[in-house]
Chain A
Amino acid sequence: MKTIRIGSGAGYSGDRIEPAVEVAEKGSIDYLVFECLAERTIAIAQNAKLKNPEAGYDPLLEARMRAVLPACRKNGVKIITNMGAANPLSAARKTVQIAAELGIGTLKVAVVSGDDVLQVLLDKNIKITETGAPATTMSNILVSANAYLGAEPMVKALAEGADVVITGRVADPSLFLAPQIHEFGWAFDDWDKLGKGTAVGHLLECGGQVTGGYYAEPDLKDVPGLGRLGFPIAEVSEDGSTVITKVADAGGMVTVDTCKEQILYEVHDPAHYLTPDVTADFSQITFTQEGKDRVRVGNVTGHKRPDTLKASVGYVDGYIGEGQISYAGPGALARGNLALDVVRERLDICAVETSELKFDLIGVNAIHGDVLAPQPEPTEVRVRVTGRTATMAEAVKIGNEVETLYTNGPAGGGGATKSSKQVVAMLSALLPREDAVPAIQFIEA
């Protein structure tokens, strides 16, 4: 039975690069997949493209391609990635240019686009899922709307001989499903196979999160070699049977427990994991340790795909200002609380206009509220004040009122930092499939 090996090259935009090179060089893989596009990344990329028509793709695309193209060419590994973000065409041109500079011969790069649905969203005045409001009610603040495309255009690109496939917004698992459909000739309505292939994608899409990253707990769940954590590899057969593994001498580990944690990551109803390709069913899934760092995946099924496509919608959501300062030693907690009171009073005296404010003591209640306040008292606390404002000028004032604690606040305040930023936030919408038409073009050199 035909078997292919798919490696993960990144689990997010800023991920480590050497593990991708390691997988390309030593993983005996056929495909290397980089998942680099978080919810908000594409809205930020869209803004970058508005300022510079050549920009808007992943900032690490160049470094990644330079690092992996030689090994991929040598070992016949095809690359699939959503690093195109808001500008897959520019990303493809850059990739071809890098290939030429590296002297690795001709490279056929496919560009998958068609995910930009901002105009459709406005023309058809489609409802925003979270608010129920029609899109035109926020047209003055909308930045982007991108539909999650499925595997189909990537499968076509591979069928036409692409060495590299660069996309904008596609569903993360679809990046991994596409080569399976292409290699095994699975039908686009073979729901069980597409469900199995989607489970592979879901397990691999966050890179190191299935090889021991986001997992270690000293003494309870020890992981060897986090500093040189290996990225995962899936060994998939024509019938959809799968083993998750990694390069033998890479750090990390693949165990049934790392797989159990990752299969439920960002999943709601495990019986209905929705992608543009299929409704995957993980509710009966099994994992079996077949050997060191080899886990077999079983009992995944699938059902008909959803009728609609999800789009992520980016909009400008005002500004956030923040300031932090630390206190330590005996009485640190009391001085931290006094500092918060002073900042509250100052924001009031200066009439800083905010729509939401948060007062935290890092080390005490910044993450879990007062539910799990530490006993005994910590000897170091870090004051953190953050607030939402309508303008940058107001946002700046929040950090300033924390910083001035240096000379005006409690004893021993140190290490003040401040920041302010415009916020691009995300909502979502559901569109009829025909409103997002995938397009493929090829760039060759």
Chain B
Amino acid sequence: MKLFECAHSRTGDKGDISNISVIAYDPKDFDHLARHVTAEKVRAHFDGIVKGDVVRYEIPSIGALNFVMQSALGGGVTRSLALDPHGKCLASALLAMEIPDRAV
């Protein structure tokens, strides 16, 4: 399944750092997301865009993960050459990630 089938997402930016939340529509899916949407997978998904480390924080009380990606915005909003210098579109790109179906 695609990530967008079970989660929603929002991007924020500070300087050259982008953070993307991944939030389970159904809190019961949190463990499934936590197992399959790892920092390594997110780093690989944004290969060529994110140049730095990716760190993941977990917020189980709202069924959410938060990915903090260094050197992700072409030098930062204020100097980036990118069409989307804030990286606001990145959340939608992350939701295209393929993850295993939930165990039945």
Contacts and interface: CB of A to CB of B under 8 A. Distances in A.
Interface of A: 39-40, 130, 214-215, 217, 220-221, 256-257, 260-271, 282-287, 299, 317, 320, 356-358, 360, 362, 366-372, 384, 386-388, 423-428
Contacts of B16: 130
B48 interface: yes
B59 A371 contact: no
B21 A261 contact: yes
Interface in B51-104: 57, 59, 61-64, 66, 68, 74-79, 81-84, 88-90, 93, 96
Contacts of B25: 257
Contacts of B62: 256, 260, 263, 285-287
A261 B8 contact: yes
B8 A266 contact: no
Given A261-B9, A269-B57, A285-B62, 20 more contacts: A39-B15, A39-B77, A214-B88, A215-B10, A261-B10, A264-B64, A265-B12, A266-B12, A266-B13, A266-B19, A268-B57, A270-B59, A271-B57, A283-B57, A320-B81, A358-B82, A367-B84, A386-B81, A424-B78, A428-B15
A268 B17 contact: yes
A425 B15 CA distance: 10
A24 to B, nearest CB: 28
B76 A426 contact: yes
Contact of B49 (A270, A368, A384): A368
Contact of B64 (A260, A369, A371): A260
A131 to B, nearest CB: 12
8 contacts: A40-B78, A215-B10, A257-B8, A264-B66, A265-B10, A268-B19, A269-B57, A367-B83
B77 A40 contact: yes
A270 B76 contact: no
A367 B21 CA distance: 19
Interface of B: 4, 8-10, 12-17, 19, 21, 23, 25, 45-49, 57, 59, 61-64, 66, 68, 74-79, 81-84, 88-90, 93, 96
Contacts of A40: 77-78
A148 to B, nearest CB: 12
A113 to B, nearest CB: 23
Most buried by A among B13, B15, B68, B79: B79
A25 to B, nearest CB: 30
Contacts of B89: 367-368
A86 to B, nearest CB: 16
A360 B74 CA distance: 14
Given A270-B66, A358-B82, A426 B15 contact: yes
A266 B96 CA distance: 21
Given A358-B81, A384-B83, A267 B66 contact: yes
B12 A264 contact: yes
Contacts of A257: 8, 23, 25
A267 B12 contact: yes
